[in-house]
Structure 1
Amino acid sequence: MNNLTCFQCHKFQAFFGIFDGHGGSKAAEFASKNLDKNILDEVVRRDEEEIGDAVKCGYLTTDTEFLKEDTSGGTCCVTALIRNGNLVVSNAGDCRAVMSRGGIAEALTSDHRPSRKDERDRIETSGGYVDLRHGVWRIQGSLAVSRGIGDRHLKSWVIAEPDTKIFQIKPNHEFLILASDGLWEKVSNQEAINVARELCIAVDKPEPLLACKKLADLSASRGSTDDISVMLIQLGNYV
């Protein structure tokens, strides 16, 4: 599931997100409808240099609100907030953001998985455990991601706090790909940039939607059976 929000109705500001649910679609649907509003509420009452904290609070508020819904499931998220010439990229889970910097792939997020030493240490310090089942590291023998919105039954260990990076958009920042792990499990960061760049850069008529379709089809052709959501943001539109 993805979303795009006109941020404060300003042509050079926007909010984009990919939401990859697990245990049902409720958490992804909830986050896609509420996360942008919760972040905006925090942004407008803070100084510009506090934008990273604003995004964090927006994620945590969305998580708290969803848990009050008394429903199961959870969702991974990756979001991009564009504001005042800055790109603010955040993630909780294994959705990923990759930017084309002059044709070179640059991952702007790091997947939150129990196999990461820092995530495993955090989980174990909190009284949980991580084990390897059928080749996949899981929390409490269950979930294969270590951050996200929702997941009530694992909330002691699956936190909603995102990692955030902030960049000033520059001319060689060509486009940004946001996608669920259904893409990244079968397509490398650089390969995704190469496929999309042929359709979006130095062409008479850029075709970002076709680029997204080609990437999804490529992953599916390689055997991906996971949900595949792909979004491409042309950063030059926001400079």
Structure 2
Amino acid sequence: MEDRYSAVVGIRGDPKQAIFGVFDGHGGAKAAEFASKNIDKNIINELTRREGEGIVEAVRHGYLTTDSEFLKEDVHGGTCCVTALIRNGNLVVSNAGDCRAVVSRGGAAEALTSDHRPSREDERERIEAQGGYVDCRNGIWRIQGTLAVSRGVGDGHLKQWVIAEPETKVLAIEPDHEFLILASDGLWDKVSNQEAVDVARALCVETKPETLSACKKLTKLAISRGSCDDISVMVIHLGRFI
């Protein structure tokens, strides 16, 4: 099991501020472990240091700092990351890799991230422009014939192409934003965005919120469909942060 997660609620003593993350390690759990312990701290530090410069830049530098710090550890492996920062009534979702964030908006699933895989045209073009190559083996696209994701923390031997630069989306939390699902690809490879929302909604909106039960049910659903990958699922009820 190479996945890890993090959850920090009550940033600076404010119950309406929080940051959550799911980290899908590969080549060992060291990078996921490191990111789960440091990326939230680095993002919060950047928010303080860059007050007024914009929240997207703060998150970006939080990711890049975590990456550079891990590379200094001289440890093999890497990790995909997805984080959700809740601050001043805004939801700030970022990712590097193929962990995904999906929000339920009145029961409709809306993906807030786009998976970073070598098969994505813009990612393939970026890699090739930097002198790398992407090929498909047994139906899976890989960088330099090895890694099946194109962004993440770590992967020092592929750092020229596997960047830690996150993509970030910011939206105001509205009353119809019911809950957010953060999960590794062990879930998303077997369960669609809308299916995941439907399963979680029955336990989080239509009844008293049972977010842990929703996580367990989604995990079991992916396993029942043959997922042999690590599976991590986090469901965050957004109403408490409005």
Report the CA distance between 1:202 and its aligned residue. 2.9
Displacement of 1:177: 0.1
Matches for 1:59-78 after TM superposition, within 5 Å: 59-78=63-82
> Matches of 1:106 and 1:49 in 2, distance apart?
28
1:109 to 87, 92, 113: 113
- Paired residue type of 1:194: D
Q: Matches of 1:155 and 1:22 in 2, distance apart?
A: 14
Q: Which runs of 5+ in 2 are unaligned?
A: none
2:97 aligned with 1:89, yes or no? no
Number of residue-to-residue matches in the alignment: 238
Q: Which runs of 5+ in 1 are unaligned?
A: none
Partner of 2:218: 215
Structure 2: how far apart are the matches of 1:110 and 1:165?
A: 10
Aligned residue for 1:11, secondary structure, equals coil
SS where residue 62 of structure 2 aligns?
helix
Structure 2 partner of 1:232: 235
- Aligned to 1:128, the other structure's residue is in SS state coil
Deviation at 1:115, TM superposition (A): 0.2
TM-score, normalisation: structure 2:
0.97
CA deviation profile, 1:101-132 (whole Å, cap 9, x unmatched)? 00000000000000000000000000000000
In structure 1, C-alpha distance between the alignment counterparts of 2:170 and 2:109, rounded to whole Å: 17
Give SS of 2:181's match: strand
Distance (whole Å) between structure 2 residues aligned to residue 218 and residue 202 of structure 1: 20
* Correspondence 1:157 to 2:161: yes
- Structure-to-structure mapping, 1:194-209, within 5 angstroms: 194-203=198-207, 205-209=208-212
Taking the aligned partners of 2:195 and 2:40, their CA distance within structure 1 comes to: 30
2:178 paired residue number = 174
Partner of 1:41: 45
Residue 48 of structure 1, CA deviation: 4.7
Q: Which residue of 2 aligns with 1:5?
A: 8
Distance in 2 (CA, whole Å) between partners of 1:171 and 1:140 is: 45
Local SS of the residue matching 1:67: helix
Q: Alignment partner of 2:229: what SS?
A: coil
- Name the SS for the 2:174 alignment partner: coil
1:98: which partner in 2?
102
- Give the superposition deviation at 1:49: 5.7
Kindly state the Cα deviation for residue 45 of structure 1 after the two structures are TM-superposed: 2.1
Percent identical pairs in the alignment equals 71
State the alpha-carbon separation in 1 of the partners of residues 166 and 185 from structure 2.
17
What's the CA shift string for 1:58-114, capped at 9, x where partnerless?
000000000000100000000000001000000000000000000000000000000
Instruction: Report Cα offsets for 1:185-239 as digits up to 9, x if no partner.
Output: 0000000000000001031x21110000000000000000000000000000100
SS of residue paired to 1:28:
helix
Residue 17 of structure 1 deviates from its aligned partner by: 0.1
Q: Quick one: distance in 2 between partners of 1:216 and 1:135?
A: 24
- TM-score normalised by length of structure 1: 0.98
Give the drift of 1:47: 3.3
Measured after TM superposition, the shift of residue 145 of structure 1 is 0.1
Match of 2:24 in 1: 20
Matched, 1:128 2:136: no
Return the letter of the residue paired with 1:217. Answer: K
Q: What's the CA shift string for 1:115-161, capped at 9, x where partnerless?
A: 00000000000000000011100000000000000001100000000
Whole-angstrom distance in 1 between the partners of 2:49 and 2:156:
29
Amino acid at match of 2:218: L
Q: CA deviation at 1:8?
A: 1.9
